């Protein structure tokens, strides 16, 4: 305490309630500094007479978005003289987070790992807290995807929620950017400006199956009735399931596919075929597989020139059972590739 920097809007946002209330004069100077002279005069009077309500009001009008989640020091906590009890009471209304971080930062539908969001708030009393995960669309539109209500949570303790990115009907949530935020139930969103960790993440319906350096070879057709897309990579490169599902076939075809495996996609209506694996696939027929789960390694078994994955997508009802191979396979692979 005691350090007062000229305040920009940004650092003003970062200042915690209690500190700002105690620095009533500082607030007045700030407001003068940014040219809000009329307001400042009132603030000055308020500050001089020890009334903190204006500071609290000014704060209340700010947006409650969790901010940049920088890990720079922690805001001063408590320690206000008893004469300023009303100020601390006002400040205590809004949750202040010490920690707000999610891991991993990319999750997949029915993936191997759920997102774990950990948070901790300051203060002296228990609170009824709501955690939300919010989708941020390309156009900036925010939609709450899921809420968790947790009653009587202790301050200064790490709490966590686990999120598997799916809708109530079991399908994947929209692809793209998400973030977690916290508030007191029925109250304002917590101040996360100084919280440790990063509360943002991305969720995707698929993962690119070749987990290493790669290049694209022949696509659909390719002058020889090619039914998929070739992806070249070093033999031994890890192969994972692009989408969760159930293993439908695992076999060896010496004259063509070599070691191959076909997985019926969960809630996607498609079959996913992986060919020329180095060895027999690690997953067996009937087995449930998660998005991103290892199924084998890139090889050159069967009729293959060079180490590569031959990948096919088949529409409902599936691979050589009434469906047809999808021309969109290359486009899809390239999209999943961009998702990382
Ligand atoms: Zn091929």
Number of domains in the chain: 2
Given 204, 235, 251, which residue is the final one in a domain? 204
* CA 247 to ligand 1 centroid distance, Å: 20
* Whether residue 233 sits in one domain with residue 191: no
> Is residue 269 included in any domain, yes or no?
yes
- The CATH number linked to 317 is 2.70.70.10
* CA 250 to ligand 1 centroid distance, Å: 17
Are 190 and 121 contacting, i.e. CB atoms less than 8 angstroms apart?
yes
* Whether residue 306 sits in one domain with residue 241: yes
* Whether residue 249 sits in one domain with residue 298: yes
* Whether residue 330 sits in one domain with residue 261: yes
> Is residue 13 included in any domain, yes or no?
no
What's the rounded Cα separation, in Å, for the pair 205 and 111? 9
* Whether residue 238 sits in one domain with residue 311: yes
> Is residue 20 included in any domain, yes or no?
no
Tokens describing residue 200: 């943002």
Given 173, 204, 235, which residue is the final one in a domain? 204
What's the rounded Cα separation, in Å, for the pair 18 and 118? 24
Given 204, 237, 259, which residue is the final one in a domain? 204
Q: Partners of 181 in the beta sheet? A: 132
Mean of the per-residue pLDDT values for the chain? 81
Residues with CB under 5 A from ligand 1 (ion): 230, 310
- 43 vs 116, residue with greater confidence: 116
Residue for token pair 């021309």: 327
pLDDT 10s digits, 145-190: 999 999 999 999 999 999 999 999 999 999 999 999 999 999 999 9
> Is residue 38 included in any domain, yes or no?
no
* Whether residue 120 sits in one domain with residue 191: yes
> Is residue 1 included in any domain, yes or no?
no
Confidence at residue 29, expressed as pLDDT on a 0 to 100 scale: 38
* Whether residue 245 sits in one domain with residue 180: no
Q: What is the mean pLDDT of residues 88-110?
A: 87
* Whether residue 178 sits in one domain with residue 292: no
User: Which pLDDT band holds residue 35 (cuts at 50, 70, 90)?
Assistant: very low
* CA 271 to ligand 1 centroid distance, Å: 16
- How crowded is residue 298: how many other Cβ atoms within 10 Å of its Cβ? 25
* Whether residue 176 sits in one domain with residue 274: no
Q: What is the mean pLDDT of residues 210-220?
A: 97
Tokens describing residue 94: 């809004």
According to DSSP, the β-strands at 215-216 and 229-232 are: antiparallel
> Is residue 268 included in any domain, yes or no?
yes
* CA 89 to ligand 1 centroid distance, Å: 68
* CA 307 to ligand 1 centroid distance, Å: 11
* Whether residue 317 sits in one domain with residue 264: yes
* CA 216 to ligand 1 centroid distance, Å: 10
- The CATH number linked to 104 is 2.60.40.1930
Structural domain boundaries enclosing 230: 215-339
* CA 320 to ligand 1 centroid distance, Å: 17
> Is residue 10 included in any domain, yes or no?
no
pLDDT 10s digits, 256-308: 999 999 999 999 989 999 999 999 999 999 999 999 999 999 999 999 999 99
* CA 235 to ligand 1 centroid distance, Å: 15
* Whether residue 157 sits in one domain with residue 256: no
* CA 217 to ligand 1 centroid distance, Å: 8
> Is residue 34 included in any domain, yes or no?
no
Query: The pTM is what?
Result: 0.73
* Whether residue 108 sits in one domain with residue 142: yes
């Amino acid at each position: 305490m005691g350090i007062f920097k000229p305040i920009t809007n940004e650092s003003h946002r970062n200042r915690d309630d209690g500190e700002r209330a105690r620095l009533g004069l500082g607030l007045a100077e700030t407001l003068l500094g940014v040219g809000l002279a009329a307001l400042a005069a009132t603030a000055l009077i308020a500050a001089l007479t020890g009334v903190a309500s204006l500071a609290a009001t000014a704060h209340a009008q700010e947006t409650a978005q969790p901010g940049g989640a920088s890990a720079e020091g922690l805001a001063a906590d408590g320690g206000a003289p008893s004469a300023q009890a009303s100020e601390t009471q006002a400040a205590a209304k809004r949750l202040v987070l010490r920690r707000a971080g999610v891991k991993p930062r990319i999750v997949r539908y029915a993936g191997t790992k759920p997102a774990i969001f950990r948070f901790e708030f300051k203060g002296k009393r228990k609170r009824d807290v709501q955690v939300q995960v919010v989708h941020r669309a390309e156009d900036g539109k925010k939609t709450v995807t899921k809420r968790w209500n947790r009653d009587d949570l202790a301050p200064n303790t790490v709490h966590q929620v686990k999120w598997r990115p799916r809708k109530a009907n079991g399908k994947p949530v929209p692809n793209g950017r998400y973030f977690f935020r916290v508030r007191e139930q029925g109250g304002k969103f917590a101040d996360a400006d100084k919280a440790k960790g990063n509360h943002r993440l991305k969720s995707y319906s698929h993962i690119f199956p070749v987990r290493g350096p790669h290049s694209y070879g022949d696509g659909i057709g390719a002058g020889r009735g090619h039914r998929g897309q070739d992806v070249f990579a070093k033999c031994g490169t890890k192969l994972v399931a692009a989408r969760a599902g159930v293993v439908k076939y695992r076999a060896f075809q010496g004259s063509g596919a070599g070691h191959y495996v076909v997985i019926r996609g969960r809630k996607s209506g498609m079959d996913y075929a992986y060919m020329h694996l180095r060895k027999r696939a690690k997953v067996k027929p009937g087995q449930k597989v998660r998005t991103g789960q290892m199924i084998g390694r890139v090889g050159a078994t069967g009729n293959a020139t060079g180490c590569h994955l031959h990948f096919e997508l088949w529409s409902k009802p599936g691979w050589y059972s009434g469906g047809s191979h999808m021309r969109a396979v290359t486009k899809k692979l390239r999209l999943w590739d961009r998702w990382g």
